[in-house]
Amino acid sequence: MKGVILSVNPSAAIVDITHHVDPQDIFQAASIIHCSFRYFPEGTTHIVVVDPGVGSDRAIIALRRFGHVFLAPDNGVLTLLYDEAEVEPAVQVDNQDYFLKTISQTFHGRDIFAPVGAHISLGKDIKSFGKPVSHKDLVRIDIEKPYISKAGELIGAIVWIDRFGNLITNIEFRTLNEFCRSDVKKNCRVIIGSNTIDELSENYANIKSKRPLAIIGSRGYLEIAVNCGHAAEYFGAEKGDPVKVICR
Amino acid sequence: MKGVILSVNPSAAIVDITHHVDPQDIFQAASIIHCSFRYFPEGTTHIVVVDPGVGSDRAIIALRRFGHVFLAPDNGVLTLLYDEAEVEPAVQVDNQDYFLKTISQTFHGRDIFAPVGAHISLGKDIKSFGKPVSHKDLVRIDIEKPYISKAGELIGAIVWIDRFGNLITNIEFRTLNEFCRSDVKKNCRVIIGSNTIDELSENYANIKSKRPLAIIGSRGYLEIAVNCGHAAEYFGAEKGDPVKVICR
Amino acid sequence: MKGVILSVNPSAAIVDITHHVDPQDIFQAASIIHCSFRYFPEGTTHIVVVDPGVGSDRAIIALRRFGHVFLAPDNGVLTLLYDEAEVEPAVQVDNQDYFLKTISQTFHGRDIFAPVGAHISLGKDIKSFGKPVSHKDLVRIDIEKPYISKAGELIGAIVWIDRFGNLITNIEFRTLNEFCRSDVKKNCRVIIGSNTIDELSENYANIKSKRPLAIIGSRGYLEIAVNCGHAAEYFGAEKGDPVKVICR
């Protein structure tokens, strides 16, 4: 892909955001691109090839939002970037003039996404690549959100486990703040399986080695970690497991 | 290596093709560079440091082919790029003016390949680095090719297993096409161990989760995969295992 | 981090030295940056985020040495770069004008180090980022050095194990040379556990497959390896284990 990009745009600055999305995990990819794009310069082209449907008749879409351009399969991976107001429609990418001459069935990243993305990075308007399509007509994935149970607990879930074994939940800090109005750090208790963590930590440094903690991670979501350890092993936790929060 | 390259050529665009060649596997590296180089811009310098003989008296060679330059140990890793017609000889790289001042015994990548490659990327003619040497005199590895057995089966082999567990064979699509003249996709059956896959798939998307498939991969070779799974574990397969094709 | 760097300095050439420092291993990181920086162009900015104390009150420092700039937490990771003569003081980085607007508690790499490093790469003087601080007042880690035992053996230790399983010691080649005055390669014997390696090898190529060897690695330190194998598994060795050298 990088060779193809540089063939079209020799001065492209190419950054790998990640190659570690769990296979087929479109929700995880959707979360990562949503958390990451804002740290890149305005005008960046983001190529999001998490594409279990490669070679099928799934469409490819490009859309502009917040001054960035996103290019991805139409499988919901951009769900968190759809625009309710729809200031500008998306585009269904099918103009083969910008594809490689030979298209493999298993690697559209190289044969379609890379050359199209490179042309976008050169300033080519996304309208050049195909017909407009409403954000409302794009494939959308369900984003599992935390809810409040009858017992008054905030119920979220582990949505992914990073390479350090940290458990990242779908509970945003502002959701936690609304749920637990006063002094959230002292008053909230985080429950995973039969274990309770008694407060939110400010950092890792004040926690003893090998002890668990709950913390707001760098993406703004509640995470459960073990200082100098591996929380997934420590708790025997898996993706999808529930995480509860109680407010004292 | 990248620091050394940028010290010589501060505006080099550096791309890592792979760091995952199986240790000592010169054939695999030869296949990867042969499949990959054509996706890079003409004029690219390819530094191929798969070098089990580092520190011995193995030579280092540079050669120009298809408008690209290749720099590698003379251990056969460029076998698939040798030119029968030999329009231009290769060069045996030994001009120490372009090496780092101190040469370690175990990391010529940093001390020799990186600075020489960077000078090539600046446009320096490969003749500057040493004496011409005929392609015929370069080390050559045996490229195991598929053959047709007495029973009329096409016999190939698994030549590597990628990080997703896909089994990549040495059977090119055009070989398959010649072997199985009509409607290769419907008529060919792929046999691995005691398992038979009944046709070639167009893509992963039409295959049920956890089910095996045979497909032409993005490099143009027959691959055996398991949708959302790990074919090497599924079949208990290892590098070197035979793969047979029968045509109905 | 790369998005943030490119937002400040769009033409920065960014190189990842490593993402494989063992968690919390400040000594290992200190060794790697000390061995690596000299291969980069003068004027390079090195951002060293091995930062177990992130979010605590540990300081952040910048210092200039050998024509390079180093930016790191004040946790000793730059110990090997402190200057006894102290031609120029370090700087304690606390000027929030150069930080991102929102600072997370767990990822100062992105929120502080990346933007500050990018401003340094644009030529901004390190004095702009905070007050001068003497090298003598910076946090320092103990660098375990080899010593000569009463029995006259040179006693070092395995300081890390690389991803190939090679055992890297803290014994520099020049220490070995001083210890074993004549023909060090023939006369030194390297002892690990109950195993003895009888000489220093010049390279891997002359050693039989799966056989152990002792060699001066590309960083200039004694390493123990197994040709085409994994020395840590072969010897059951762990980080911190002693390695002895005897001179015949």
Q: Do A52 and B206 touch (CB under 8 A)?
A: no
Q: Is the pLDDT of residue C118 over 90?
A: yes
DSSP line for C159-208: EEE-TT--EEEEEEHHHHHHHS-S-HHHHEEEEETTEEE-SEES-STTSP
Separation CA B105–CA C164 (nearest Å): 17
Nearest CA in chain C to A217: C106
> Which chain C residues are within 8 Å of B105, Cβ to Cβ?
202-203, 215-216
Separation CA C203–CA A119 (nearest Å): 47
A117-to-A14, A125, C124 alpha-carbon distances in Å: 11, 11, 33
Q: Do C203 and B105 touch (CB under 8 A)?
A: yes
The pLDDT score that the predictor gives to residue B172 is: 92
pLDDT in tens, C213-243: 999 998 899 999 998 899 999 999 999 999 9
In this prediction, what percent of chain C has a pLDDT beyond 70?
Answer: 100
pLDDT in tens, A107-119: 999 999 999 999 9
Please say whether the beta carbons of B112 and B59 come within 8 A: no
> Which chain B residues are within 8 Å of A23, Cβ to Cβ?
164, 228
Please say whether the beta carbons of C67 and C78 come within 8 A: no
- Average pLDDT estimate for A212-227: 93
Name residues whose C-beta falls within 8 Å of residue B152's C-beta, 6 or more positions apart in sequence.
B246
Separation CA B134–CA C164 (nearest Å): 35
Q: Is the pLDDT of residue A52 over 90?
A: no
Q: What is the largest CA-CA distance in chain C?
A: 63
The pLDDT score that the predictor gives to residue C143 is: 86
Extended beta strands in chain A, E state: 45-47, 60-65, 68-73, 90-93, 130-133, 147-148, 154-161, 167-172, 188-192, 195-197, 200-201, 212-216, 221-226, 242-247
Residue window 36-65, chain A: list those with CB within 8 Å of chain B.
52-56, 58
B189-to-A97, A156, A240, C22 alpha-carbon distances in Å: 36, 48, 39, 47
> Which chain B residues are within 8 Å of A10, Cβ to Cβ?
13, 41
Q: Which of B203, B206, B228 sits opposite A106 (nearest CB)?
A: B203
Q: How many CB pairs under 8 A join B and C?
A: 59
The pLDDT score that the predictor gives to residue C202 is: 85
| Beta strand B90-93 pairing with B60-65 | antiparallel
Q: Is the pLDDT of residue A90 over 90?
A: yes
- Residues pairing with C150 in the sheet: none
Q: Do B205 and A3 touch (CB under 8 A)?
A: no
Burial C180-217 (b: 16+ CB within 10 A, else e): beeebeeebbbbbeeeebebbbbbbbebeeeebbbbbb
Q: Which of C204, C216, C228 sits opposite B54 (nearest CB)?
A: C204
Query: Mean of the per-residue pLDDT values for chain C?
Result: 94
Mutate to test the interface with C, among A9, A39, A199 (most CBs of C within 10 A): A39
The pLDDT score that the predictor gives to residue C56 is: 85
Residue window 137-176, chain A: list those with CB within 8 Å of chain C.
164
DSSP line for C103-143: --SS-HIIIIIHHHHHHHHTT--GGGGEEEE-GGGS-----
C207 residue type, one letter: I
- Distance from the Cα of A210 to chain C's closest Cα (Å) equals 13
Q: Which of C3, C53, C106 sits opposite A15 (nearest CB)?
A: C3
User: Which two three-digit tokens encode residue B134?
Assistant: 């005929």
pLDDT in tens, C196-205: 999 899 888 7
Name residues whose C-beta falls within 8 Å of residue A73's C-beta, 6 or more positions apart in sequence.
A48, A49, A50, A51, A53, A54, A58, A59, A60, A61, A108
Q: Do A39 and C107 touch (CB under 8 A)?
A: no
- Distance from the Cα of C217 to chain B's closest Cα (Å) equals 6
**pLDDT category of residue C65 using cuts at 50, 70 and 90:** very high
Nearest CA in chain A to B164: A23
The pLDDT score that the predictor gives to residue C204 is: 83
Between CA C181 and CA C212, with CA C232 as vertex, the angle to 5 degrees is 50
pLDDT in tens, A6-50: 999 999 999 999 998 988 899 999 999 999 999 999 999 999 999
Q: Do C203 and B10 touch (CB under 8 A)?
A: no
The pLDDT score that the predictor gives to residue B139 is: 97
Comparing C-alpha atoms, which of B56, B88, B49 is closest to residue B71? B49
Separation CA A149–CA A245 (nearest Å): 10
Q: What is the pTM assigned to this prediction?
A: 0.92
Considering only residues A55 and A141, tell me which one the structure prediction assigns the higher pLDDT. A141
Mutate to test the interface with C, among B105, B108, B139 (most CBs of C within 10 A): B105
Chain-centre distance for alpha carbon C176: 20
Q: Which of A24, A53, A55 sits opposite B202 (nearest CB)?
A: A55
ipTM computed for the complex: 0.91
Q: Which chains are within 8 Å of B by 3+ CB pairs?
A: A, C
- Distance from the Cα of A16 to chain B's closest Cα (Å) equals 11
The pLDDT score that the predictor gives to residue C180 is: 87
> Which chain B residues are within 8 Å of C43, Cβ to Cβ?
none
**pLDDT category of residue C36 using cuts at 50, 70 and 90:** very high
| DSSP 8-state assignment for residue B111 | I
Q: Do A215 and C54 touch (CB under 8 A)?
A: no
User: Which two three-digit tokens encode residue A212?
Assistant: 């668990």
Q: Is the pLDDT of residue A180 over 90?
A: no
> Which chain C residues are within 8 Å of B52, Cβ to Cβ?
204-205, 228
| Beta strand C45-47 pairing with C68-73 | parallel
- B128 close to A (CB below 8 A): no
- Residues pairing with A91 in the sheet: A62, A132
Q: Which of A10, A14, A23 sits opposite B228 (nearest CB)?
A: A23
Count of residues making up chain C: 248
- Average pLDDT estimate for C120-144: 96
> Which chain B residues are within 8 Å of A53, Cβ to Cβ?
203-205
Mutate to test the interface with B, among A22, A105, A108, A121 (most CBs of B within 10 A): A105
Comparing C-alpha atoms, which of B230, B222, B88, B234 is closest to residue B159? B222
Comparing C-alpha atoms, which of C174, C180, C177, C167 is closest to residue C243? C167
How do the pLDDT tens digits run along chain B, 248 residues long?
A: 999 999 999 999 999 999 989 888 999 999 999 999 999 999 999 999 999 888 888 999 999 999 999 999 999 999 999 998 989 999 999 999 999 999 998 899 999 999 999 999 999 999 999 999 999 999 999 988 899 999 999 999 999 898 889 999 999 999 999 998 788 888 899 999 999 999 899 888 788 989 999 999 988 999 999 988 999 999 999 999 999 999 98
Which 3 state secondary structure label does DSSP give C79?
helix
The pLDDT score that the predictor gives to residue B185 is: 83
Q: Is the pLDDT of residue A224 over 90?
A: yes
Which 3 state secondary structure label does DSSP give C93?
strand
Phi and psi at residue C109, to the nearest 5°: -50, -50
